[in-house]
Chains A and B, each alone.
Chain A
Amino acid sequence: MTEVLLRVENLHVSVGDTPIIQGISLEINRGEIHAVMGRNGAGKSTLANVIMGHPAYQITSGAIHYKGENIEDMEVFERARAGVFLSFQYPAAIPGVQVGTFLRKSVASVRGQAPSPRAFRKELNEAMKQLDMDKSFLSRYVNEGFSGGEKKRLEILQMLLLQPHLALLDETDSGLDIDALRIVAEGINAVAKDTGCLIITHYQRLLDLVKPDVVHVLIDGKIVESGGPELALKLEKEGYDWLDALA
C-alpha cells in the first residue's frame, strides 16, 4: 500500500518581500526517490529548507503536508523528531562541540530517549564503517575545518543514525570524490526502501547510483517539467535552455 509521506500543494514562499517559490506541487510516497534539478538560484535549497521549517522563509500560500498533516506550525525540532531529515548543502560548523557528543545527543533527541551507551557505540561503529569514516572524526568539532566531502559524509552518517522517514538531501553529492560518491549512494540506498527521499542534485553521476522514481526540474521557483530517470539524462546532454520556454 502506498503511503503519502509528503504532499506539497501549490506552495508559494517568500523571503521578506521577495517571492522565491512560486507554486510548487509534488507528492512523495514512502519508498520513493524524487530528484530535483535546476540551475543555481532556482529555489531548490529553499524548497528543502522550507520543508524542514527554516524560520527565514514565509509560506505565503499553499501548504506542506507530512504524513497527512499540515506542518506549517510545527517547529524545526518537532519536524526532526517526527522523522524529517535535511542533509545540508552547507552544513554549519559548531565550534567546540565534538561529533561524538553531537551524534549521541541528536539521536537521543530524535528518538525521544537516550540509547544505551553500548548499543549506541555499536550502531555508530557500524554506520561509520559503512561510510568508511575514521573513528578520529568523533573527537573533532562538528564540521569545523572539515573538507567539503567530509561534511557531506557526516551528513549521511547522521541520516543513517537518525533513520528518518523523509530525507531531504541537498547536493549531498557535490564535493565527493568518486569512492565517496559510491559509498554515500550506498548509504542512501540503504535507507531509501523505507523512506521518502528528495534528492537535490546537479549531476547525473549520483542518479546513476541512486535510481530516482521521479525527476523534477525547477526553474524560477516552479516545477516546469517532471518525468522519469530519462529526464535527468536529457538534462545532462542538453542543459536547461530547452525548458525556458516552459517557465
Chain B
Amino acid sequence: MTQEAQNAVGDYKYGFHDPESATIRFDKGLSEEVVRDISELKGEPEWMTDIRVKAYHHFMEREMPTWGNCDSLAGIDFDNVTYFLRSSDKTEKDWDDVPDDIKRTFDRLGIPEAEQKWLGGVTAQYESEAVYHSIREDLEEQGVLFLDMDSGLKEHPEIVKKYFGSVIPHTDNKFSALNTAVWSGGSFIYVPKGVHVEMPVQAYFRINAKNMGQFERTLIIADEGSSIHYVEGCTAPTYSTDSLHSAVVELIAMEGAKIRYSTVQNWSANVYNLVTKRGVAHKNATVEWVDGNIGSKLTMKYPAVLLKGEGAHAEVISVAYAGEGQHQDAGAKVHHLAPNTTSSILSKSISKNGGRSSYRGMLQVTPKAAGCRSKVICDALMLDEDSRSDTYPTMEIGNSTADLEHEASVSKVSGDQLFYLMSRGHTEEEAMGMIVNGFFEPFTRELPMEYAVELNRLLELEMEGSIG
C-alpha cells in the first residue's frame, strides 16, 4: 500500500477497499432522468417508477429537516454524489459465482463463515445491490420470504405495492424522499402467520466507491403471531471525500407479532449517516430496535415505533460512540396511539476526543392512549473534558393516565476505576476499553454473539492510541 493510501485508510479497521468494479455507474448528481433510468434499468413496474419520480420532485422541493443536528447537513453536496452503481450484473445465489475482488472483501469480513456458523440467511449488500443472497432451506419451507429488495419487488410485487411507503411515505422528510427516488438494494422479508424464525437473519452493507451514496430500502412484514430477528451490520472503508448513506427501513408487526431489528453500524469517519427507521406495532405486537452507532461524520437516526394497536409494545436500545470530529445525534421516537401500550427506551452514549453525542427523543401520547406506560433512560459517559453530551427529550402528552419515567445521567470514567484495572496489569487503554465495553454491555448482551464480540473488539481498537 502506498503511504498515501495508508494515510487515507488510517486506523480504521475495515478501511481496506477493492478497486471499483462497477459495470454500470451513473454520473454524479441527480435529475428526473437519472431516477427514470435507475427504474428502467431494474425493469421495474410503472407504479414504482411513478413513486420514484414523485419522490424525486418532493426531494427537490423539500426543506432540510429541522429535527436533529441540522446545521451539519449543510456539508452535504448532493451534486457530488453518485446515485446508482451496480457492482455485479446479477444477484448471485452461489458464493462461488461472486466476483473475486468482492469475495475478497467479504472474506475479510468473515461473512461466509459467519453464515455457516449461525446465520439464518445472509444478504450481503455490496454497493447498491445484493450480490450474494442465500436463505436456509428450512426458512423457505416455512414460507418465509427473504430477498434483496429488488428481487422482492420482482417476485412479490403485490406485497411490496401494499406496504412500500406505508410506514414511511416519501413525504416524511427530505431524506426519505431521496431514498424513495433512488433506492436500490436493502432487504425484503415477509414472515407468514404464526411462523417463528428462530435464528437471526442477517445482512451486511458496505460502501466501497468514492462518493457513493447508499440508499437501501428495507421492508419487513411479520404477519399475525409471527416473529423474526433481523440483524444488519455495516462497515465502510475510509475515503477522503464524504459519502452519504440514507436508508429507509419500514417494519410492520401485525397483531401479536414481534420484530426485532438489530444494527451495528461502523461507518468510516466521513460518512453522513441519515437513516429513517420506523415500525408499526398493531394489537399486542412488539417492535424492538437495537441500534448501535459507531463512526460516521454525522449520524442522525431516531428509530421510531408507532404503537397503533391496543397492548402494543416498543423497545429501543441504542448506543452511540462519538470520537474526534464525529457527531452522533441519535435517539428514539415512540408514539403511543392506542390504549395500554408500553414502551421502553434505553440510550447509552460515549464521547471521546472532542466527539459529541446527543440523545434526541420524542415521546408522544395521544388522547386516545389511556393507561400507557413508558420508561426512558439515557446514560452518557464522557472520556475526557473536551467531549460533549446533550439530551433533548421532547414529550407530547395528551392523556393524563400515562405513567411516564425519565432518567438521565452523565458520568465520567473515574480515576479509581482506572487505577483498579491498571493494578490488575491492564494498560490505561485496555482499562478504558473494559470500562467502555462494560458501559455498553446492556446493549451488547442483546446482540447475537458474533456481533457482540466484534463490537467489543471495535471499541477496544477505538481506545488504542487514544490516551496521551
Residues on A facing B (Cβ under 8 Å): 49, 52-56, 75-77, 79-81, 85-86, 88, 90-97, 102, 105-106, 109-110, 141, 158, 162
CB interface residues, B 378-424, toward A, < 8 Å: 414-417, 419-424
> Are the CB atoms of A92 and B417 closer together than 8 Å?
yes
Q: Which residues of B have CB within 8 Å of A102?
A: 424, 434
Stretch from B31-39, B83-91, B96-104, B438-446 forming part of the interface with A: B438-446
Q: Which residue of A lies closest to B420 (CB)?
A: A92
Contact across chains for A80 and B425 when beta carbons are under 8 A apart: yes
In the assembled complex, B135 has its CB within 8 A of some CB on chain A:
no
Q: Using A92-B414, A109-B430 as known contacts, say yes or no to A76 and B422 having CB atoms under 8 A apart.
A: yes
Contact in complex: B424, A110 (CB < 8 Å): yes
For the complex, give the distance between the alpha carbons of A79 and B424 in Å: 9
Q: Report Cα–Cα, A141/B430, bound state, in Å.
A: 17
List the A side residues contacting B428 at CB < 8 Å: 77
Chain A residues closer than 8 Å to B426, beta-carbon distance = 77, 105-106, 109
Quick one: which of B410-468 are within 8 Å of A by CB?
414-417, 419-428, 430, 434-435, 437-442
Q: With both chains docked as a complex, state the minimum distance between the C-beta of B428 and any C-beta of chain A, in angstroms.
A: 8
Q: Which of A76, A94, A106 lies in contact with B438, CB distance below 8 A?
A: A94
| B419–A105 touching, CB < 8 Å | no
Bound Cα distance from A91 to B420, whole angstroms: 7
Nearest-Cβ distance from residue B417 to partner chain A, whole angstroms: 5
The CA-CA distance from A92 to B440 in the complex, in Å, is 18
Asked if A95 contacts B416 (CB within 8 A), the reply is: no
* CB nearest neighbor in B for A110: B425
- Beyond A86-B423, A141-B438: 20 further Cβ-contacts under 8 Å? A52-B423, A53-B422, A53-B423, A54-B419, A75-B422, A76-B422, A79-B423, A91-B420, A92-B419, A95-B439, A96-B438, A96-B439, A96-B440, A97-B434, A102-B424, A105-B426, A106-B426, A109-B425, A162-B424, A162-B425
Question: B438 touching A77 by the CB < 8 A rule?
Answer: no
Q: CB distance A158 to B417 under 8 Å?
A: no
Main secondary structure of the interface of B (DSSP, over half): helix
Q: List the A side residues contacting B440 at CB < 8 Å.
A: 96
Closest beta carbon of chain B to A104's beta carbon, Å = 11
Chain B contacts for A106, CB-based, 8 A:
424-426
**Cβ–Cβ contact A97 & B420, under 8 A:** no
Q: How far is the CB of B431 from chain A (nearest CB, A)?
A: 8
Contact A97/B441 with A106-B424, A110-B424 known, Cβ cut-off 8 Å: yes
Give Cα distance in the complex from A142 to B354, angstroms: 29
A52 to B420, CA, bound (A): 10
A106 to B439, CA, bound (A): 19
Q: Within 8 Å CB of A141, what residues of B?
A: 438, 441
A-contacting residues, B250-300, CB 8 Å: none
- By beta carbon, the residue of chain B nearest A85 is B423
Kindly report which residue of chain A lies nearest to residue B421, judged by CB atoms: A94
The answer to whether residues A92 and B438 also contact, given A77-B422, A109-B430 and a CB cut-off of 8 A, is: no
Expressed in whole angstroms, the Cα–Cα distance for A85 and B415 within the complex equals 18
A77–B442 alpha-carbon span in the complex (Å): 28
Complex: A54 Cα to B415 Cα, angstroms: 9
Once bound together, how far apart are the Cα atoms of A102 and B435, in whole Å?
Answer: 11
Given A92-B416, A92-B417, decide whether A81 and B425 contact each other with a Cβ distance below 8 A.
yes
Residues of B within 8 A of A86 (CB): 423
Bound complex: CA of A110 vs CA of B420, how far in Å?
Answer: 14
- Closest residue on chain A to residue B439 by CB atoms: A96
**For A76, A106, A141, A158, which residue has the most chain B Cβ atoms within 10 angstroms?**
A76
Instruction: For the complex, give the distance between the alpha carbons of A246 and B430 in Å.
Output: 46
A-B pairs with lowest CB-CB distance, top 4: A96-B438, A96-B441, A109-B425, A110-B425
